[in-house]
């Protein structure tokens, strides 16, 4: 008990006074030694996980529930987490995505993807040019319907959320090179579907 008390006071003192920044590795270590310390990881990452899930669910209450489930699952399994070249947040993102996908599968619902016009330019550049009659909003939506949930997530992160390949690799727990390859394949798949849709009209 004395050992746990020392760690609790150490974290509280450093965080509140902000005299010393505690590394992610130490916060995880402290949480493993005493789950009560997990609250500091919760406070550090709650907002970004919530916004990540809100973007995908477009439902604040659902996003809050999924975020809570994500952190509960992370806390219960904190002893299993190991640093393998990716930040702790990447583990949380993956748990969150799994919870989101499980929700839609369990409720037999299909996730709706909202696309704002100001999010399209970079994606449009990767697809047939806007002067090409093959590219229309209708064909773009049809192309999305042929993507798996994992493929949609890649497109969302790269073109709608403007995340770097490094960020995507960290969230998905894959190498940067693998993230680039996967994105290239998704864009190629979308191009083919857009062309097919145009030819079948």
18: left (phi > 0), else alpha (psi -120 to 50), else beta?
left
* 91 and 132 co-located in one domain: no
* pLDDT one-digit tens code per residue, 167-190: 899 888 889 999 999 999 999 898
Which CATH number fits the domain that encloses residue 42? 1.10.1740.10
* pLDDT one-digit tens code per residue, 87-109: 899 999 999 999 998 998 888 77
* 20 and 94 co-located in one domain: yes
Higher pLDDT, 145 or 72: 72
Higher pLDDT, 179 or 160: 179
DSSP-derived secondary structure letter, 110: -
Mean pLDDT taken over the chain: 81
* 147 and 69 co-located in one domain: no
112, part of any domain: no
Residue 134: C-alpha distances to residues 7, 111, 120, 127, 183 (Å)? 61, 25, 16, 10, 21
Task: Work out the pLDDT band at 79, boundaries 50, 70, 90.
Answer: very high
Residue 161: per-residue pLDDT: 84
Task: Work out the pLDDT band at 16, boundaries 50, 70, 90.
Answer: very low
DSSP-derived secondary structure letter, 192: H
Higher pLDDT, 18 or 49: 49
* 25 and 96 co-located in one domain: yes
* 96 and 136 co-located in one domain: no
Residue 193: per-residue pLDDT: 81
Lowest-confidence pick of 4-8, 135-139, 183-187: 4-8
Task: Look at residue 76 and tell me whether its pLDDT is greater than 90.
Answer: yes
The domain in which residue 47 lies consists of: 2-106
Task: Work out the pLDDT band at 132, boundaries 50, 70, 90.
Answer: low
DSSP-derived secondary structure letter, 22: P
Lowest-confidence pick of 49-53, 62-66, 108-112, 131-135: 131-135
Q: Could you give the number of structural domains in the chain?
A: 2
Collapsing DSSP to helix, strand or coil, 185 comes out as helix
* pLDDT one-digit tens code per residue, 30-44: 899 989 999 999 999
């Amino acid at each position: 008990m004395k050992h746990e008390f020392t760690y609790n006071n150490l974290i509280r003192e450093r965080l509140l006074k902000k005299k010393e920044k505690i590394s992610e590795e130490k916060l995880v270590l402290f949480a493993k030694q005493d789950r009560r310390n997990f609250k500091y990881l919760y406070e550090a990452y709650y907002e970004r996980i919530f916004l990540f899930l809100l973007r995908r669910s477009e439902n604040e209450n659902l996003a809050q529930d999924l975020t809570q489930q994500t952190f509960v699952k992370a806390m219960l399994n904190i002893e299993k987490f190991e640093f393998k070249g990716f930040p702790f947040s990447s583990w949380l993102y993956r748990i969150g995505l799994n919870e989101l996908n499980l929700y839609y599968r369990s409720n037999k619902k299909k996730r709706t993807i909202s696309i704002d016009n100001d999010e399209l330019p970079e994606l449009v550049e990767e697809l047939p040019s806007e002067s090409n009659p093959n590219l229309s909003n209708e064909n773009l939506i049809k192309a999305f319907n042929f993507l798996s949930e994992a493929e949609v997530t890649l497109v969302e992160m790269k073109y709608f959320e403007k995340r770097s390949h490094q960020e995507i690799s960290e969230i998905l727990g894959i190498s940067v090179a693998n993230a680039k390859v996967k994105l290239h394949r998704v864009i190629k798949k979308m191009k083919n579907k857009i062309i097919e849709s145009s030819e079948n009209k």
